[in-house]
């Protein structure tokens, strides 16, 4: 656009005016730009830098310049952290844990259950639908500590555990769910939070389906299932794609509930990548917080995040979103 | 205020929206921009308003180049197709808004708003909100808002297309009357040729970003300079036939496989001078069904229009004519009719350049 | 939805469906129902196979990396088991549901057809189970004896005459003390048997009359099936089919909703019960000695407790949380609406770049930057004055980080809302003489009120419940919000009163829950706006 405008040299154009126009635009953008710079852009560079240092509790400093230049102690260790990470015997397991956790939670709950709830609440009385959706939002607004407390009580051993109380009533042996079924519950407790995101998106998409379309389908004498199959689902293609991509990314990096539930235990059985990064760098539970090593774990996630977000942008046909503004002056 | 467009061009990326338009709108004149949708007429209007910046060319108000003048300093009033009333303000607020921005004192604002509202016949609606008004009332508010700041130029972007047919008719007269009374230069964009023909002093016909013609309504109708104009202006549209014009003594005949009709000498001569195949245009109202007619054809479709029936008559495989007929005759598809062609207003065009052979 | 049957004897023309059903032979209808039911079973079994294959696949794959560590497969096993269990029931329900259209105008015939189809499907399913020895025909490893846990050990309460235990010489009244050399309990023994292979032997150390003896018992396959479960199963199947036939369709979503929500309902039921009792065992409130009862308001005393230096009063903290959440909502709104406006409505160099950046950030998981942001905040903290307000462990710093994380979504949503305002509105304002700032402020903002309310609510809710960021970037109670307060309650060295934690959690949740109920429509809007440009 700019080049087209500048080639129009026939016009005696006033530079200062174009300048003022831009300044206004940048003025609108400045606060957002500042936040992006300080809390996204610089941290991204910083985490790359930290991942090639051996920063830990023992040689801790927040002085980035000193880290970069100091010879004694020497901070920069090159790719050591990454070598160590790939050699880490837990790394492949954590990686597979992560894949498994993301896929299982996403398919079963965030997309699957979210869609089911949206379809169900769309087919009940409007007020009942509102109530059901409000109930589903509960896990999202419950303080994580309390939410996890709730789940811990569900799976706890006798006499506190709710499931084990039922086991007792049914005359079945007590089960140690923390040990045996850790994954089942991790996926469930995360899924019950994640489902509400898909639910809201799908509901608003279903509600925005033109009533004419539904009526036409009703007139044609379709059953509920036929309407779902032939009217609703085809129109939900984009929301489905949106929820899938968006939630993949957020599941990939959500770890606080696992942290609170069993901290990735028993014996790293349920540790996922982001939790590993957090545990190694920030969690004071391990006496020696290894900032550099933890950063290496985080860098892997940052790279995956950037790649997937870029794909996400492509998928959503970015070019169609940047239609030229239809006002060109100030 | 006089508006001058010189070689005005607007490109959106590589797409040319408006292509090298030059014209002058005289002070106090009412000019309509007429053309099919996407022809660049609204883009031209928005450049006059200052919303779009021209890619090339100059816009002058009187002698002042206003290319770089922001819209607020151009002293224009504009009425939009959607009216663009501010839904969160009352009618009073809407009309007063331009004055408020000009920092006109409160009392004067109120006075001027009331004055305009009275003129528009909406004085009793001042404390309503736009959503509570009918389409016609909204239209009047929008017009009032455009007029209240006493603009030098009034711009209209298809302002009547959202109104029902009867209201449209009465608003046409009202806008025209107001504009003449206030003597404000007006530019009126429309795709409705009846609107353009009835309201405008002159009409600028546009197609594909190009200015096709800039003439009075009568000239456009009777002396179309291009094939496009001839086909675009007039309803039902002009018939076009490929003919050869032959001279026999002092009489000129338009001849093709289906017909042979005499044409007026001064028109026939121009066509004959061009030689070979030319396109002859004849309006449906110049064709009558008559026993004495010389052209025979078969009625293909009958379209009742109310006052007339519109017939699609096939002369032969290549030649068809739209003809207006008296509904009382009760013609049906399949009937054979004989047609008399009144060739006094016949038009001739060069098939290659599509320019008129009669009017330069 | 389709049960208004013979309400009026008025003659009406047959619909095409009715016609089809009237024409069809009963046998044909039975066949169709059976076919559909079997297709359903097939789908379920496909699911079972999928999960059964997936499980070991998940479990074995890390070995390629030269590691013995296994990824757990309990989830896939649980899913496979659930599907296996549900498959027959789904088939019977299908038999009934398939004939609902017929039932709408010919009840008797529908029942007859459904019952016939169900019986046949039942026989087919049962035969299938017999052939594959699953379900009720599963052969389980058994020692053919019963036992229970006592104080001294595992007491044998009975043996099957002529069974494997009998043959090995075990008698009722024997006390099993160990398997091999390992001491055992009844539960462990059960598990051992369940996991044992057929024809292998389990060495039981049996104590009889004070003498211990090792008795190897062979594990034999036993099919524990009687006539009762088979007949019971058939009756259940028939009942299910008839229920499915006449089930009011409108109720299905409600029932399904409630069934899906059971874990949630149970969890929150516990939460409420817990806040009003001394202790809970399962879902039951109990008193100090473990008997039912023990209701108390003690857990809610935090509401009236005066503040101390380490535990500020709850009202202080509530106020704190309110201030932080509101501030965050306001800042997010301001920043996002300004940027959203510029991106939606203005042309400037770098617009494309900024737009794609926002979209990428919208998807980008900001949590990965936690470590780096820790250093950013630490370094901001070193700046004089500014550091006191926006550094590490300050309200300002925490709020800014939360705003930054919320912002890409906000910008994106706001852009969507601005995109939906007609251009003419803004053109009109510009022609009327407004500047871009004024247009933004006076004309456009009032028109995206729904969007502002939605994003505001959203930001407020997330600020109110924020946990990870305040938790990571604060120390002590200086910046306490309710979420942090709760974490502190749980992180003390003193014994934690979990029921009080639950009460504070409930207290924190209530306002947000109420807001959500009232703002739900706006919030539905927000996402409609957020994904609109993309579809």
Rounded Cα distance, A7 and A108, in Å: 56
Q: Which member of A8, A329, A330 has the closest CB to residue B55? A: A8
DSSP A26-61: HHHHHHHHHHHIIIIIHHHHHHHHHTTB---GGG--
Q: What is the pLDDT of residue B1?
A: 86
> Where among B175, B197, B231 does a domain terminate?
B231
Do residues B148 and B98 lie in contact, with contact meaning Cβ atoms separated by under 8 Å? yes
Give whole-number Cα distances, B30 to B175, B197, C20, in Å: 10, 11, 69
Is residue B256 domain-shared with residue B219, that is, in the same domain?
no
Tokens representing residue A325 in the block = 């503004």
The answer as to whether B104 is a domain residue is: yes
The answer as to whether B206 is a domain residue is: yes
Task: Nearest chain B residue to A6 by CA: give it.
Answer: B55
CA angle at B344 for the pair B338 and B350, rounded to the nearest 5°: 95
Rounded Cα distance, B45 and C229, in Å: 84
Sort out which chain A residues have CB atoms less than 8 A from C425's CB and list them: none
- Asked if C365 lies within 8 A of A151 by C-beta distance, the reply is no
- In the predicted model, residues of chain B with pLDDT beneath 70 are none
Is residue A97 domain-shared with residue A35, that is, in the same domain?
no
Sort out which chain C residues have CB atoms less than 8 A from B78's CB and list them: 427-428, 431
Residues C374-411: tens digit of each pLDDT: 888 888 888 888 888 788 878 788 888 889 988 888 88
Is residue A103 domain-shared with residue A215, that is, in the same domain?
yes
Do residues C136 and C225 lie in contact, with contact meaning Cβ atoms separated by under 8 Å? yes
Rounded Cα distance, C287 and B91, in Å: 69
C-alpha closest to that of B151 among B124, B126, B130, B182? B182
Q: Beta partners for B336?
A: B298
Q: Which C residues, 471 through 510, put their C-beta within 8 Å of a C-beta on chain A?
A: 472, 482-483, 486-487, 490, 498, 501-502, 504-506, 508-509
The answer as to whether B360 is a domain residue is: no
> Where among B231, B256, B291 does a domain terminate?
B231
Mean pLDDT of chain C: 81
Sort residue A79 into left (φ over 0), alpha (ψ -120 to 50) or beta.
alpha
Q: What is the pLDDT of residue C532?
A: 42
Q: What is the pLDDT of residue C4?
A: 44
Is residue B10 domain-shared with residue B113, that is, in the same domain?
yes
Q: Is the pLDDT of residue C452 over 80?
A: yes
CA angle at A37 for the pair A33 and A43, rounded to the nearest 5°: 155
Q: Containing H/E element for B301?
A: strand B295-304
DSSP C449-488: HHHHHHHHHHHHHHHHH--HHHHHH--TTTT--HHHHHHH
Q: Is the pLDDT of residue C512 over 90?
A: no
Q: Is the pLDDT of residue C533 over 70?
A: no
The answer as to whether A3 is a domain residue is: no
How many domains does chain B contain in total?
A: 2
Is residue A32 domain-shared with residue A110, that is, in the same domain?
no
Task: Nearest chain A residue to B43 by CA: give it.
Answer: A326
Sort out which chain B residues have CB atoms less than 8 A from C422's CB and list them: 82, 84
Tokens representing residue C311 in the block = 């535990």
Is residue B227 domain-shared with residue B329, that is, in the same domain?
no
CATH number for the domain spanning A158: value is: 1.10.3720.10
C-alpha closest to that of C464 among C488, C483, C489, C485? C483
Is residue B125 domain-shared with residue B30, that is, in the same domain?
yes
Task: Nearest chain B residue to C429 by CA: give it.
Answer: B98
Tokens representing residue A87 in the block = 């050699």
Do residues C453 and C522 lie in contact, with contact meaning Cβ atoms separated by under 8 Å? yes
HEC sequence for C410-427: HHHHHHHHHHCCCHHHHH
Parallel, antiparallel, or unpaired for β B277-282 and B309-314? unpaired
CB of B51 within 8 Å of a chain A CB? The answer is: yes
Range of the domain at A150: 89-289
Is residue B246 domain-shared with residue B206, that is, in the same domain?
no
Q: Classify residue C509 by burial, with Cβ atoms within 10 Å: 0-12, 13-18, 19+.
A: buried
Is residue B327 domain-shared with residue B210, that is, in the same domain?
no
Rounded Cα distance, B100 and B103, in Å: 5
Q: How many CB atoms lie within 10 A of CB A106?
A: 24
Displacement of CA C90 from its chain's centroid (Å): 22
Is residue B135 domain-shared with residue B23, that is, in the same domain?
yes
Question: Taking the CA atoms of chain B, what radius of gyration do you get in angstroms?
Answer: 25
Is residue A73 domain-shared with residue A172, that is, in the same domain?
no
Rounded Cα distance, A138 and C517, in Å: 11
**H helix intervals, C149-251:** 164-168, 186-195, 227-246
Q: Distance, in angstroms, between C245 CA and closest chain A CA?
A: 15
- Asked if C62 lies within 8 A of A93 by C-beta distance, the reply is yes
Is residue A101 domain-shared with residue A210, that is, in the same domain?
yes
- pLDDT band at C100; cut points 50, 70, 90: confident
> Where among B214, B231, B248 does a domain terminate?
B231
CB of C78 within 8 Å of a chain A CB? The answer is: yes
The answer as to whether B98 is a domain residue is: yes
Q: What is the pLDDT of residue C8?
A: 46
Tokens representing residue C12 in the block = 């009406």
Sequence-distant (6+) residues with CB within 8 A of A259 are: A275, A278, A279, A283
SS3 B322: strand
Q: Is the pLDDT of residue C461 over 90?
A: no
- Asked if A11 lies within 8 A of B56 by C-beta distance, the reply is yes
Q: What is the pLDDT of residue C2?
A: 43
Q: Which member of C281, C349, C354 has the closest CB to residue A165? A: C281
The answer as to whether B224 is a domain residue is: yes
ipTM of the complex: 0.82
Q: Is the pLDDT of residue C164 over 90?
A: no
Q: Is the pLDDT of residue C283 over 90?
A: no
Parallel, antiparallel, or unpaired for β B202-207 and B30-34? parallel
Rounded Cα distance, A124 and A140, in Å: 23
Question: Taking the CA atoms of chain C, what radius of gyration do you get in angstroms?
Answer: 34
Is residue B50 domain-shared with residue B199, that is, in the same domain?
yes
Percent of chain C topping pLDDT 90: 7
CATH number for the domain spanning B259: value is: 2.40.50.140
Mean pLDDT of chain A: 80
The answer as to whether B332 is a domain residue is: yes
- In the predicted model, residues of chain A with pLDDT beneath 50 are 1-12, 285-286
CATH number for the domain spanning B156: value is: 3.40.50.300
Is residue B57 domain-shared with residue B142, that is, in the same domain?
yes
Looking at per-residue confidence, does A28 or C227 come out higher? A28
Q: What is the pLDDT of residue C14?
A: 65
Sort out which chain A residues have CB atoms less than 8 A from B57's CB and list them: 10-11
What is the number of alpha carbons within 13 Å of residue C237 lying toward its C-beta? 29
Q: What is the pLDDT of residue A317?
A: 62
How many domains does chain A contain in total?
A: 2
Is residue A151 domain-shared with residue A134, that is, in the same domain?
yes
Q: Distance, in angstroms, between A75 CA and closest chain C CA?
A: 15
Rounded Cα distance, B211 and B21, in Å: 6
Q: What is the mean pLDDT of residues C495-505?
A: 84
Residue showing tokens 């000019």 = B31
Is residue B289 domain-shared with residue B326, that is, in the same domain?
yes
C-alpha closest to that of A256 among A246, A264, A247? A264
Range of the domain at B165: 3-231
Question: Taking the CA atoms of chain A, what radius of gyration do you get in angstroms?
Answer: 26
Is residue B171 domain-shared with residue B292, that is, in the same domain?
no
The answer as to whether B179 is a domain residue is: yes
Rounded Cα distance, C246 and C103, in Å: 8
Is residue B170 domain-shared with residue B133, that is, in the same domain?
yes
């Amino acid at each position: 656009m700019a080049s087209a405008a500048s080639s129009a040299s026939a016009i005696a154009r006033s530079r200062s005016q174009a300048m003022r126009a831009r300044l206004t635009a940048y003025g609108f953008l400045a606060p957002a730009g500042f936040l992006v710079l300080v809390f996204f852009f610089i941290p991204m560079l910083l985490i790359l830098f930290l991942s090639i240092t051996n920063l830990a509790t023992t040689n801790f400093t927040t002085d980035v310049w000193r880290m970069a230049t100091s010879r004694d102690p020497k901070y920069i260790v090159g790719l050591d952290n990454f070598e160590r990470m790939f050699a880490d015997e837990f790394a492949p397991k954590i990686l597979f844990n992560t894949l498994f956790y993301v896929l299982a939670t996403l398919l079963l709950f965030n997309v699957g259950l979210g869609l089911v709830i949206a379809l169900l609440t769309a087919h009940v009385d409007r007020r009942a639908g509102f109530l059901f959706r409000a109930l589903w939002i509960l896990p999202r607004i419950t303080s994580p500590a309390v939410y996890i407390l709730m789940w811990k009580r569900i799976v706890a051993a006798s006499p506190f555990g709710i499931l084990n109380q039922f086991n007792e009533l049914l005359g079945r042996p007590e089960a140690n769910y923390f040990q045996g079924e850790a994954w089942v519950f991790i996926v469930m407790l995360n899924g019950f939070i994640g489902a509400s995101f898909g639910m809201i998106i799908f509901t608003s998409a279903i509600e925005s389906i033109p009533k004419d379309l539904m009526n036409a389908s009703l007139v044609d004498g379709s059953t509920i299932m036929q309407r779902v199959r032939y009217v609703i689902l085809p129109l939900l293609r984009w929301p489905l794609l949106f929820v899938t991509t968006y939630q993949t990314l957020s599941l990939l990096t959500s770890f606080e509930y696992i942290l609170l539930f069993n901290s990735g235990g028993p014996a790293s059985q349920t540790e996922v990548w982001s939790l590993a990064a957090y545990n190694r760098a920030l969690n004071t539970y391990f006496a020696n917080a290894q900032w550099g090593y933890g950063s290496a774990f985080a860098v892997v996630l940052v790279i995956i995040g950037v790649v997937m977000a870029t794909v996400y942008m492509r998928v959503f046909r970015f070019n169609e979103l940047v239609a030229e503004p239809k006002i060109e002056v100030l | 205020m006089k508006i001058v467009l010189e070689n005005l061009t607007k490109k959106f990326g590589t797409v040319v929206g408006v292509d090298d338009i030059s014209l002058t709108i005289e002070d106090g004149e009412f000019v309509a921009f007429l053309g099919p949708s996407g022809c660049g007429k609204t883009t031209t209007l928005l450049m006059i308003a200052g919303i779009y910046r021209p890619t090339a060319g100059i816009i002058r108000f009187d002698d002042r180049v206003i290319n770089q003048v922001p819209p607020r300093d151009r002293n224009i009033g504009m009425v939009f197709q959607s009216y663009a009333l501010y839904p969160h303000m009352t009618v009073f607020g809407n009309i007063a808004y331009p004055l408020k921005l000009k920092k006109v004192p409160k009392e004067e604002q109120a006075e001027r708003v009331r004055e305009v509202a009275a003129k528009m016949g909406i004085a009793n609606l001042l404390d309503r909100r736009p959503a509570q008004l009918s389409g016609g009332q909204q239209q009047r508010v929008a017009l009032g808002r455009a007029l209240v700041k006493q603009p030098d130029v009034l711009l209209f972007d298809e302002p009547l297309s959202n109104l029902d047919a009867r209201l449209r008719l009465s608003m046409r007269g009202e806008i025209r009357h107001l504009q003449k009374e206030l003597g404000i230069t007006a530019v009126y964009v429309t795709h409705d040729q009846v609107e353009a023909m009835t309201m405008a002093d002159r009409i600028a016909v546009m197609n594909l970003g190009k200015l096709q013609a800039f003439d009075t309504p009568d000239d456009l109708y009777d002396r179309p300079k291009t094939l496009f104009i001839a086909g675009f202006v007039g309803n039902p549209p002009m018939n076009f036939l490929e003919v050869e014009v032959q001279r026999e003594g002092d009489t000129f005949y338009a001849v093709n496989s289906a017909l042979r009709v005499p044409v007026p000498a001064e028109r026939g001569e121009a066509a004959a001078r061009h030689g070979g195949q030319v396109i002859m245009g004849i309006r449906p109202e110049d064709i009558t069904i008559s026993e004495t007619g010389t052209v025979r054809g078969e009625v293909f479709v009958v379209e009742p229009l109310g006052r007339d029936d519109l017939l699609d008559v096939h002369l032969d495989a290549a030649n068809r004519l739209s003809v207006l007929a008296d509904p009382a005759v009760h013609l049906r598809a399949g009937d054979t009719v004989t047609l008399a062609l009144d060739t006094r207003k016949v038009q001739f065009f060069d098939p290659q350049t599509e320019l008129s052979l009669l009017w330069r | 939805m389709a049960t208004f049957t013979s309400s009026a004897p008025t003659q009406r023309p047959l619909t095409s469906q009715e016609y089809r059903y009237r024409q069809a032979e009963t046998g044909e209808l039975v066949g169709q129902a059976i076919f559909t039911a079997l297709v359903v079973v097939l789908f379920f079994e496909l699911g079972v196979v999928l999960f059964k294959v997936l499980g070991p696949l998940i479990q074995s794959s890390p070995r390629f990396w030269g590691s013995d560590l296994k990824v757990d497969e309990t989830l896939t096993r649980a899913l496979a088991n659930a599907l296996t269990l549900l498959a027959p029931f789904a088939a019977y329900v299908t038999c009934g549901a398939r004939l609902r259209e017929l039932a709408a105008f010919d009840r008797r015939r529908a029942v007859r057809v459904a019952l016939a189809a169900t019986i046949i499907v039942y026989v087919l399913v049962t035969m299938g189970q017999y052939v594959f020895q699953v379900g009720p025909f599963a052969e389980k490893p058994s020692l053919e004896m019963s036992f229970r846990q006592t104080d001294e050990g595992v007491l044998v309460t009975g043996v099957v005459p002529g069974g494997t235990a009998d043959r090995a010489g075990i008698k009722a009244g024997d006390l099993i003390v160990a398997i091999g050399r390992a001491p055992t309990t009844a539960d462990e023994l059960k598990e051992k048997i369940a996991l044992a292979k057929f024809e292998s032997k389990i060495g039981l150390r049996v104590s009889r009359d004070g003498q211990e003896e090792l008795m190897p018992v062979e594990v034999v396959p036993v099919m524990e099936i009687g006539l009762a479960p088979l007949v019971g199963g058939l009756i259940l199947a028939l009942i299910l089919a008839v229920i499915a036939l006449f089930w009011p369709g409108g109720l299905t979503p409600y029932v399904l909703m409630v069934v899906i929500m059971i874990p949630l309902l149970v969890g929150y039921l516990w939460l409420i019960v817990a806040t009003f009792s001394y202790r809970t065992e399962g879902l039951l409130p109990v008193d100090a000695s473990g008997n039912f009862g023990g209701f108390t308001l003690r857990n809610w005393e935090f509401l009236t407790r005066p503040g101390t230096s380490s535990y500020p009063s709850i009202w202080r903290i509530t106020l704190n949380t309110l201030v932080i959440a509101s501030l965050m909502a306001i800042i997010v709104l301001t920043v996002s609406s300004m940027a959203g406006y510029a991106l939606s409505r203005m042309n400037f160099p770098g617009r494309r770049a900024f737009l794609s950046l926002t979209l990428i950030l919208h998807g980008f998981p900001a949590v990965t930057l936690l470590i780096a942001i820790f250093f950013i905040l630490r370094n901001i903290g070193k700046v004089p004055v500014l550091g006191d307000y926006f550094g590490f462990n300050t309200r300002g710093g925490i709020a800014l980080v939360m705003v930054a994380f919320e912002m890409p979504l906000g910008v994106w949503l706001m852009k969507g809302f601005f995109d939906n305002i007609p251009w003419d509105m803004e053109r009109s304002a510009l022609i009327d003489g407004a500047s871009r700032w004024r247009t933004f402020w006076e004309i456009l903002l009032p028109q995206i009120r729904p969007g502002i309310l939605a994003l505001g609510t959203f930001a407020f809710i997330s600020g109110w419940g924020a946990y990870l960021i305040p938790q990571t970037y604060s120390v002590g109670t200086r910046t306490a919000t309710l979420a942090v307060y709760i974490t502190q309650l749980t992180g003390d060295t003193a014994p934690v009163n979990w029921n009080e934690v639950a009460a504070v959690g409930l207290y924190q949740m209530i306002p947000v829950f109420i807001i959500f109920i009232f703002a739900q429509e706006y919030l539905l809007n927000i996402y409609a706006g957020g994904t609109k440009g993309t579809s």
